[in-house]
Structure 1
Amino acid sequence: MRFVRFGPSGQEKPGVLDAQGVIRDISSIVHDIDGRSLAAGLQNTLAETALETLPVVPETERLGPCIGNIRSFIGVGMNYADHALETGAAIPTEPVLFNKAPSCINGPNDDIIIPRQSRKTDWEVELAIVIGKRASYISSLDAPSVIAGYCICNDLSEREFQMERGGTWNKGKSCPTFGPLGPWFVTADEIKDTQKLDMWLDLNGERMQTGNTSTMIFTVPYIVSYISQFMILEPGDVITTGTPPGVGMGQKPQRFLKPGDKLTLGIEGLGSQSAKVIGAE
């Protein structure tokens, strides 16, 4: 199934795409698309529902982040060898982890805001994992059993804040609007092989990133297992898994976002995002 959240920011309602790709309002059945509904068996709840009988959501409705009430938003850095090389970083021997503040989460087509004092705001198309069951010390073999599904994340990053201001990466990863998720949350059964997904990103119509999840250093099951050795993963937690080459800091000369730019990006089977870049007030 493909789930969405629609409506004004902070007031999103849950929806699902029917067989024709029409969004149907499911707010009479579930309260939201979040950890609580995932833990309760969201997909099973709708299994016997005739989706075509549910109210149609107008195409003009804003799409919000496809998962609500996210508790933990975890990032994996340098997870594509060719991306590590383009940035001059060593290829990691273990996953590099960081946190993105849940307050940075954005709708897939909402404006992206360049932070105050920013000179190096960058883009990163990524596959994001949505956790569906509580997981602690889980094995790679069992990790798929706790994955509810997947979505697109644009792991926006302010490179000066991230790399040149000391401390951890978090300060360059958590600025407002730096975590667009969606358009859809796609359940795991819809994705046959998470390690064979094409991905792309265009800046103002120019292709910047072309990649495939087959070049990940650490696979999806390994990432979930690895993180669960250090923290408890809860339903609704999101893990964004790294980006292929083509980011702004890897360009020669380097190239970063500016007001008026437009980003479009997508991953096979997960839809696409389209966002305008604006400056901070």
Structure 2
Amino acid sequence: MMLLKRLVACVVTFVAVFAGGAAAFAANEPMGQPHPWQMNLQAGVTPVMDDIIWFHHFLLWIIVAITLLVMTLLLVVIVRFNARRNPVPSRTTHNTLIEMVWTVVPVLILVTIAVPSFRLLFYELKVPPADLTVKATGKQWFWSYSYPDQKIEFDSLLVQDKDLKPGQPRLLTVDNELVVPVNKVVRVLVTGADVIHSFSVPSFGIKIDAVPGRINETWFKAEREGTYYGQCSQLCGRDHAFMPIAVHVLSEKDYAAWLATAKKKFSADNSGPTTLAAAE
């Protein structure tokens, strides 16, 4: 039993040190984008992503507890019920209490997981009254954004490595970012122009397919200013890996200034969207 206690203590210590180190490392990670050796989810900047992170950690502790329990039971069986300690094997074939426990406890665990899981799913799917509506259209291999109420439309293409400025992340930087105001509910209409794409921004907790001939919708409410990155998350052809998403969250004042400029630059009534051919 002393060996068993030491093994359990070592595992618990390892988990605590690992969790503490991961938390300290995550505190220094860049916002809105992946980083080398990342082990956790990206830091959330929306209520939905905050709930996703909470649910992830909640499940992780349940998984750790179950793993430790099963490992402990296996060690107990190995130590106490081996052939050397039990030269005459037990002929026990039934134990009502144990069978009730291993039936009821898993059911309770599943219910404990299901309740917050369904609550989170409904929270993600129910789009609240929107302050701003944007439409994202996936194309091979870039995104087109339009603001129906403001009559703005433009394409967003990957910035090549040779054109990157200092501090701009490779394979994530685009020429025209999707710009939204902070602390506003943004409704996103998503569709595809050719094949199935997927609009995904991890820091917002959103990921939804862009299907040709169909409009899907999702939403987010960014609570911090900054630039947040995502990528097409549905294999869509040769340049699937070069189809980033960049969302720039501005203060209301800066967003109003950008909007005034964008109406002149990207007016859907005049010049229309910047085309792929023109960008090349």
Whether TM exceeds 0.5 here: the answer is no
- Please identify which structure carries the higher helix content: 2
Q: TM-score, normalised by structure 1?
A: 0.24
Structure number with greater Rg is 2
Q: TM-score, normalised by structure 2?
A: 0.24
- Please identify which structure carries the higher strand content: 1
